[in-house]
Structure formats: structure tokens, C-alpha cells
Amino acid sequence: MRLNTQTALITGASAGIGIETARLFAEEGARLILLARREELLRRLADELKDSTGCETQILVCDVREVSAVNAAIAKLPESWRDIDLLINNAGLSRGLDKIHEGRLQDWEEMIDTNIKGLLYVSKAVLPGMVARGRGMVINVASIAGREVYPRGNVYCATKHAAKALSQAMMIDTNGTGVRVCNIDPGLVETEFSQVRFRGDSELARQVYEGYTPLKGRDVAEAILFCATRPAHVNIADMLIFPSDQASSTLVHKRKMNYEL
Ligand code: 8X3
């Protein structure tokens, strides 16, 4: 299945897996609706895609945590952009790595509101149209944290378990409608993820990815593209992607660092 007749909405499109998915989908000829909070980054991306591939885009500047903003943004799409073929629910974040009894309420709320409620709000705005048209695909970017709970991952892991449950729920409830639902669980991907988790502490973020080769946003984008381009009778329901040196949330083979030699 080619993407050159398809309209894809990507959330969290301004960085990481989202921006790489946008670049890859643009190369494949999709029309893109780019949704994120940071307008400047979205505008820059839209210009880049136009220059590099001629990709047509719509920009939706909104926070997926705000249901009225999500609905208003999608309602503002021009008529010819309303039939969304692919929804990539990629927006998500982690805040903090504290023991649960030491966690901050504000962090919990931000993760729950973004990773669970945000995914639901965008899906609620897009999925009914897919069902009515009898075609479409939702790809939810969850995490290995949706399969395993790891030390200090508590609420983040709970939100990703919820995302995975929602992928299954969407697949069950849309069964027979022609809509496909795919869940992708990446392991360690070197993006802004750890910077956000550690609130800009670059040294802590750097340590997460040292001593082995982590996944890049492009690696996950390629998996998303693979799922999105299967023939209509094929649904990749669930996918787990690790760097080669990762075997579980807590088992990562790290080579010796120079400073240890
Ligand atoms: C990102 C992967 O292992 O840091 O979801 O939670 S992990």
C-alpha cells in the first residue's frame, strides 16, 4: 500500500519519533497534518518538508491535554483534509524517575493527561470518521514501559500500560469496520525523551544512552512506515523494538566507557 494518496495526522510531530515519521512519510508522498505544541518547530518542519519533498502540510498547534483545543484544531482543518487515513498517536512524555512514594503529583498529572487522555482526545476526534468511511489506521506509539514495570517508572509505566490497553480496546471495538489499529512499543530511543524526563539535565540524559547504540527516531519511524504500508488485509497489531543491546527494560548491555579503561 502506498502513502501517496493518504492523509496522515502525526501528534508530537515537532521532535523525536514524530518528526522522523513526518520526514519519512513525506518522502513516501503522504499529505501530513502536523500536531504539536511548539508552533515555530512545526513551521520550520513544514518548510523543510515542502523544500525536500514538496509535501503538503497542515499545522495544528495545540496541546493534546486540552480537549477543547484538540477538537477546535481538528474542526478547523479545511474540508479536503478532514478524511484522515492514518493517525499516528505519538505525543507522550515522561516526567521524573522517582520512587512512587516520593513522586510529584504534577508529574503524574502531566503524564496521565498527555499519554492517556491526550491519546483518547485525538482518537475521539478522528476515529469516528474512519469508522464511518470504513477505512483508516491508528498507530499508537506506546513503549516497552507498557509491557514491563521498572524501578521508579511507576506512573509512566502505568500510562503506557494504559496506552497498550487502549490499542487493544480500539482494535476490538473497531473490528469489522475496516479500521486497523497497531501498537508499537519502542525500547530505548535517543530523543528528547530523557531530557524531558530529567527536566533538562543533559548529563543524566546522556548517561541513559551511553555505552551502546540506542535506537534513533528514524528506526522507529521506519517501523511505523512498515505497519502503515501493509496491504489492507494485513494488520501488524503489536510490535516491540529494542536496540540490539537491550533485552528488557532493565537489561542493557553497556560497553566499557573510555574513562573506565
Ligand atoms: C521509553 C523507554 O525504557 O525509558 O518509553 O521507558 S523507557
Q: Of all atoms in ligand 1, which is nearest to the CA of residue 145?
A: 6
The ligand 1 atom nearest the CA atom of 142: 5
Q: Return the half-sphere exposure (C-beta side, CA atoms, 13 A cut-off) of residue 201.
A: 11
Q: Is 239 helix (H, G, I), strand (E, B) or coil?
A: strand
The pLDDT value recorded for residue 256 is 73
Pocket test for ligand 1, best of 157, 249, 250, 251 (most atoms within 8 A of CB): 249
pLDDT score at 2: 82
- The protein residue with its alpha carbon nearest to ligand 1, atom 5, reads 143
b/e per residue 88-106 (b: at least 16 CB within 10 A): bbbbbbbbbbeeeeebeee
What residue owns the CA closest to ligand 1's atom 4?
188
- Does the pTM surpass 0.85? The reply is yes
Please list every protein residue whose CB sits less than 6 Å from any atom of ligand 1: 143-145, 153, 187-188, 193, 249
CA distance 50 to 58: 11
Instruction: Look at the block and give the residue holding cell 508522498.
Output: 29
Q: Where are the alpha helices (DSSP H) in 174-256?
A: 193-197, 202-208, 217-228
Per-residue pLDDT of the chain (261 residues; tens, 9 = 90+): 789 889 999 999 999 999 999 999 999 999 999 999 999 999 999 999 999 999 999 999 999 999 999 999 999 999 999 999 999 999 999 999 999 999 999 999 999 999 999 999 999 999 999 999 999 999 999 999 999 999 999 999 999 999 999 999 999 999 999 999 999 999 999 999 999 999 999 999 999 999 999 999 999 999 999 999 999 999 999 999 999 999 999 999 998 765 543
Ligand 1 geometric centre to CA of 252 (Å): 12
Which of 29, 130, 120 has the alpha carbon at shortest distance from 82?
130
Using the atom order of ligand 1, give the atom closest to the CA of residue 193. 1
Which of 95, 115, 164, 193 gets mutated to test ligand 1 (max ligand atoms within 8 A of its CB)? 193
pLDDT at 234: 98
Residue 96 Cα, ligand 1 centroid: separation in angstroms? 12
Predicted pLDDT of residue 258: 53
Q: Whose CA is nearest to atom 6 of ligand 1?
A: 145
pLDDT of residue 261: 39
Hey, what domains does the chain have and what are their CATH numbers? 7-260 (3.40.50.720)
Q: What is the pLDDT of residue 260?
A: 47
Q: What is the pLDDT of residue 5?
A: 84
Q: How far is the CA of 216 from the centre of ligand 1 (A)?
A: 13
Catalytic residues: 156
In one-letter notation, the amino acid at residue 194 is S
